């Protein structure tokens, strides 16, 4: 009589659902000591630099400043 060595092997194909993918993404380990590297294509780099320069431009509106910081007297005109 021949003996068979039966091991529990998982040879079945598993269907990975949305929640398994979601949990795998949300609860992945992140090494905070590792530097963050952002690789961009030349077009993406151009758009990124334009957006960055737009967001961090120095805005100067003297008329707006004068309007916002004008002196207001609630009790009538000063003599």
**Pairwise CA distance, residues 12 & 2, whole Å:** 26
3-state secondary structure the chain: CCCCCCCCCCCCCCCCCHHHHHHHHHCCCCCCCCCCCCCCCHHHHHHHHHHHHHHCCCCCCHHHHHHHCCCCCCCCCCC
Residue 19 to residues 26, 27, 29, 51: CA-CA distances in angstroms?
10, 12, 17, 35
Q: pLDDT band for position 67 (50/70/90)?
A: confident
| pTM, rounded to two decimals | 0.36
pLDDT of residue 61: 79
Indicate if the pLDDT at residue 10 is higher than 60. Answer: no
Indicate if the pLDDT at residue 15 is higher than 70. Answer: yes
Quick one: tokens of 18? 């949305």
Rounded mean pLDDT, 29-57: 90
């Amino acid at each position: 009589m021949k003996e068979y060595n039966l091991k529990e092997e998982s040879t079945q194909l598993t269907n990975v659902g949305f929640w398994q993918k979601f949990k795998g993404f949300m609860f992945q380990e992140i090494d905070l000591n590792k530097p963050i590297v952002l690789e961009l294509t030349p077009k993406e780099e151009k758009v990124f630099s334009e957006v960055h320069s737009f967001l961090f431009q120095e805005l100067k509106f003297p008329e707006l400043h004068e309007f916002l910081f004008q002196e207001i007297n609630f009790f009538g005109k000063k003599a």
